[in-house]
Structure 1
């Protein structure tokens, strides 16, 4: 077995390392590295890292593993509420039509004190509607109205008009 210190990846190096592992389809090794890094005392969960792992797993058809990953994320006690990370994670989940998991992340976001922005609502509502999940879409629209009032004009705005986050 390889030494854990060999896989001691920090900060950006951890993101690049896991992305490279995903690119060469070493999913099991990548998840093992992620689990080992989580054991480090200095580990702090980064939502953008979770988003990259979701993309890697989804690209390889491992949707059940994504569900386990989101369950683990929900148990993270030191998760900080960063809107950019949540949006990146929601984008990754919606890319694979994982609307149930996206809604779980949406509720986790709110639970952790991170108010959804217009981009969050646009991602969820448009994704739900494209999957013909009208009841869920209507519910998320009601949530959006609580934040932005009756006018949800931002849903009709083009990609250029809605504030966009930096790519991962």
Structure 2
């Protein structure tokens, strides 16, 4: 059974307010101080997830950085992984690499999903060599590539014309 979390009225209003204010830095600042600042933890995280779902890159990054400054924030690998997915889809490879470094700076260790998202992001921008280096780093870190990782690897290597590498 597929379960989804229903957004609260506050989270929906926060997303709408952010989207309406995104073209004006002063209005955006006002939304953060009047609406975002008052959200409960769950609503704030739901707002971030909804912005990611809608591919609102700039707004999601602002909310992500806001979340990381909250008093209750504890470094969370899944938050980083979700941002890496979004940035990878938008071919923002430098930002994906920056997030990878930042998660380590926050005391987190990349897991199999983190490496898989990084590999996928490299393939999005056709950086096959970097993707393969990351795959080797993943294995060297003690993670056994799962079916998803191998599927991403094989499909993208074949698409890039690197069938010889995909047979390894």
TM-score range (shorter-chain normalised) is: 0.5 to 0.7
User: Aligned residues, how many?
Assistant: 140
Distance 1:85 1:94 in 2: 14
Structure possessing the higher radius of gyration over alpha carbons: 2
Which residue of 23, 31, 34 maps to 1:33? 31
Deviations 1:16-41 (A, max 9, x none): 33322355x4314445422566878x
Is 2:132 the counterpart of 1:134? no
Deviations 1:66-96 (A, max 9, x none): 7777787888897521122112211221121
User: Which residues in structure 2 correspond to 1:67-106 (within 5 Å)?
Assistant: 79-106=73-100
Aligned 8 A contact 1:50 1:89 in 2: no
Distance 2:115 2:11 in 1: 27
Specify the SS of the correspondent of 1:147.
coil
User: Which residues in structure 2 correspond to 1:58-69 (within 5 Å)?
Assistant: 58=57
Specify the SS of the correspondent of 1:81.
coil
**Cα displacement (A) at 1:125:** 0.2
Distance 2:148 2:35 in 1: 39
TM-score normalised according to structure 2 size: 0.56
Question: For the structure 1 residues 66 and 112, does the alpha-carbon distance in structure 2 shift closer, same or farther, using more than 3 Å as the test?
Answer: same
Aligned 8 A contact 2:96 2:118 in 1: yes
Determine the structure 2 residue equivalent to 1:125: 119
Determine the structure 1 residue equivalent to 2:110: 116
Higher relative contact order (CA 8 A, sep 6+): 1
Question: For the structure 1 residues 105 and 56, does the alpha-carbon distance in structure 2 shift closer, same or farther, using more than 3 Å as the test?
Answer: same
**Cα displacement (A) at 1:14:** 5.6
Alpha-carbon RMSD: 3.9
Q: Which has the higher helix share?
A: 2
Question: For the structure 1 residues 57 and 106, does the alpha-carbon distance in structure 2 shift closer, same or farther, using more than 3 Å as the test?
Answer: same
